[in-house]
């Protein structure tokens, strides 16, 4: 991943080059390989590069042939070779992103429809000083936009580059384009399933398998060492299996050897570590196990929240191990990884989908989950890895694959107790008797949320830790201290304290989705099972009667006693909140 910052139409007296460099430096963790800055009249485009494709000559910003069009891009354009072949232009680099400038020359703002990849970009046309900004269909890459008091428009990969200078800022919505000529946003990604009309395409296991294999293979486009994040669950195991087969049968990636590298993180003895090792042994990958202690996780919370820019409970729980693992991965010299995000949203893999009453409700909920991915799993996967200059690619969110998967009659996706478990259609598609992709018991392993799979003690310890930091009196006054998105648990309150310390702006707190236990108690869950929806714990184990290791309450799962006591100094996290005694 890279970091981009654009400041467009600013007042000359209000902004100096040194100021732009300082703001761009806040994004350098995303792109530690090179920095670029373009200045034209009252327009700045800054770029912090993570070099994945064409490390030697692909520095940004990038230009059209006459340099009248300038673009700063965060992401990967997987179909860049085909696009280059379809146009007559001279290229200055081998970068996949340079094609965006030339596409704009030929097709104008409509060129975004031709892009296949994950991307956020800002493009400046100096011929008339107009500009556009766009974000990929699902929101795999992050983007924020804001407005300065001088009338300027700002764009940045992370809000930390905007918080001090924008009067207001927002999350840039996925699948949208901002045009200065039109004066606002418009949606450019409008697939048939987006209207939530109920699809009826018959389930074709082979077609689904082929689409996913294609999605994985195109993401092996790289000039640097890479690997797969392997938890041992269905999604990451399928990614690893397909990637491993491709490397073994072609010359792709051979500069790094024919064996795939896989990575897993967890507390010692965690479910994920055991399952991932079994999958890695089966596939013959070069496997790397990383361990973290509960205390190391707790110590990292403040940094995690600074980087991922949210106070959502589930996101923070899962981001912390991923954040720690990404640092280890970067230490090995690896700069790109494939990951399994998106499958649960597309196929109804979350355990509350067991309660879906009919295919119509099932499908509408998958649509809602996909549309909100940019606020949760995409945000986590991108920012937790980018914190250490590692890029995460997500084949399940390939545009073509999503369109195919979301066109299938949702009755085929529904869980049937005793017959079909969650994500059955993906499991069936890769259940190959002649040349198995995975062992049967892995292929049909029950869904395990990442924050659970790294070790059940992790979530239990977070709760116990938060209980020591947040008093009953603080919780009683929570609605006055935090009237917006009032925390419903002590764990949520503690994360909010940390977040508000580094992002006290109103726009920052509004950027986080809200409502009591929003990750667990969706509108669908309320309608499907009111008693279940009232459970404030978003852990997969809270799915009583569904998860094999479900628990009724915190008392059923003893809390760890290994957490160190936090100091009074550490508790001074938010000036508006008293220290818990």
Catalytic residue numbers, as ranges: 2
Instruction: Give CA–CA dist 2/59, Å, rounded.
Output: 11
Our separate counts of H helices and E strands in the chain read 22, 17
* Rg over CA atoms, the chain: 23
| Greatest pairwise CA separation for the chain in angstroms | 70
Instruction: Give CA–CA dist 526/508, Å, rounded.
Output: 28
Does residue 339 have a known ligand-binding role? yes
Instruction: Give CA–CA dist 491/497, Å, rounded.
Output: 10
Look-up of token digits 């820019």 = 309
Q: Which of 67, 70, 69, 35 is nearest to 51 (CA)?
A: 35
Report the first-to-last Cα separation within the chain, whole angstroms: 42
Six-digit token string for 383:
């920012």
DSSP letter, residue 515: S
Instruction: Give CA–CA dist 161/169, Å, rounded.
Output: 11
Cis ω on the peptide bond leading into residue 354 (within 30° of 0)?
Answer: no
Six-digit token string for 556:
């059923």
Does residue 507 have a known ligand-binding role? no
DSSP letter, residue 218: H
Instruction: Give CA–CA dist 325/454, Å, rounded.
Output: 11
470-498: b (≥16 Cβ within 10 Å) or e: bbeebbeebeebbeebbbbbbbbbbbbbb
The answer to whether 324 and 358 have CB atoms below 8 angstroms apart is no
CA distances from 255 to 6, 39, 98, 215, 216 (A): 36, 38, 24, 21, 19
What phi-psi label fits residue 530: left (phi over 0), alpha (psi between -120 and 50 degrees) or beta? alpha
Does residue 265 have a known ligand-binding role? yes
Tell me the backbone φ, ψ of residue 446, rounded to 5 degrees.
-70, 150
Six-digit token string for 572:
């001074």
Cα torsion angle, 526, 528, 530, 533, sign: negative
The answer to whether 231 and 273 have CB atoms below 8 angstroms apart is no
Strands laid side by side in the 130-135 sheet: 62-63, 69-77, 117-125, 130-135, 176-179, 184-187
Does residue 452 have a known ligand-binding role? no
Does residue 340 have a known ligand-binding role? yes
- Angle 294-308/490-502 helices, nearest 10 degrees? 50
Residue list for the binding site:
96, 229, 265, 339-340
Q: What are the binding residues for ATP?
A: 229, 265, 339-340
Binding-site residues for L-glutamine: 96
């Amino acid at each position: 991943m890279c970091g981009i910052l654009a400041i467009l139409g600013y007042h000359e007296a209000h902004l100096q080059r040194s100021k732009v460099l300082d703001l761009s430096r806040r994004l350098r963790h995303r792109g530690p390989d090179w920095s670029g800055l373009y200045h034209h009249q009252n327009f700045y485009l800054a770029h912090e590069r993570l070099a994945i494709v064409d490390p030697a000559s692909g520095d940004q910003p990038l230009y059209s042939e006459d340099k009248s069009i300038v673009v700063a891009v965060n992401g990967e354009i997987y179909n860049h070779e085909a696009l280059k072949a379809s146009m007559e232009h001279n290229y200055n680099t081998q970068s996949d992103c340079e094609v965006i400038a030339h596409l704009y020359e030929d097709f104008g703002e409509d060129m975004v429809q031709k892009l296949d990849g994950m991307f956020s970009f800002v493009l400046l046309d100096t011929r008339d000083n107009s500009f556009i900004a766009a974000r990929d269909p699902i929101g795999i890459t992050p983007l924020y936009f804001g407005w300065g008091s001088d009338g300027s428009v700002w764009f940045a990969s992370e809000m930390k580059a905007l918080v001090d200078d924008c009067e207001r800022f927002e999350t840039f919505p996925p699948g949208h384009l901002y045009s200065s000529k039109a004066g606002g946003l418009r949606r450019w990604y409008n697939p048939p399933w987006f209207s939530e009309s109920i699809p009826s395409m018959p389930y074709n296991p082979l077609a689904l398998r082929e689409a996913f294999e294609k999605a994985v293979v195109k993401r092996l486009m790289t000039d640097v060492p890479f690997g797969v994040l392997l938890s041992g669950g269905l999604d990451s195991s399928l990614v690893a299996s397909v990637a491993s087969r491709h490397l073994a049968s072609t010359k792709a990636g051979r500069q790094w050897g024919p064996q795939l590298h896989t990575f897993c993180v967890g507390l010692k003895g965690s479910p994920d570590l055991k399952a991932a090792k079994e999958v890695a042994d089966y596939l013959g990958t070069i496997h790397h196990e990383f361990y973290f202690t509960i205390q190391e996780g707790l110590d990292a919370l403040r940094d995690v929240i600074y980087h991922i820019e949210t106070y959502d409970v589930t996101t923070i729980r899962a981001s912390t191990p991923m954040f720690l693992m990404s640092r280890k991965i970067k230490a090995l010299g690896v700069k790109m990884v494939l990951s399994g995000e998106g499958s649960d949203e597309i196929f109804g893999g979350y355990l509350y989908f067991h309660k879906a009453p009919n295919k119509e409700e099932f499908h509408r909920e998958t649509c809602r989950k996909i549309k909100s991915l940019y606020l949760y799993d995409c945000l986590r996967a991108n920012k937790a890895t980018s914190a250490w200059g590692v890029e995460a690619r997500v084949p399940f969110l390939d545009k073509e694959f999503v369109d195919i998967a979301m066109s299938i009659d949702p009755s085929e996706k529904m869980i049937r107790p005793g017959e079909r478990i969650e994500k059955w259609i993906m499991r069936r598609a890769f259940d190959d008797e002649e040349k198995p992709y995975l062992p049967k018991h892995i292929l049909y392993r029950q869904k395990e949320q990442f924050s659970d799979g790294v070790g059940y003690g992790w979530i239990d310890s977070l709760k116990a830790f938060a209980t020591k930091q947040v008093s009953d009196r603080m919780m009683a006054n929570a609605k006055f201290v935090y009237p917006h998105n009032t925390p419903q648990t002590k764990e949520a309150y503690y994360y909010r304290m940390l977040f508000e310390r580094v992002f006290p702006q109103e726009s920052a707190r509004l950027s986080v989705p809200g409502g009591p236990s929003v990750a667990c108690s969706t509108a669908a869950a309320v309608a499907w099972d009111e008693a279940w929806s009232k459970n404030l714990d978003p852990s997969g184990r809270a799915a009583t009667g569904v998860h094999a290791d479900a628990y009724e309450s915190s008392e059923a799962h003893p809390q760890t006693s290994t957490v160190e006591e936090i100091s009074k100094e550490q508790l001074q996290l938010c000036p508006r909140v008293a220290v818990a005694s």
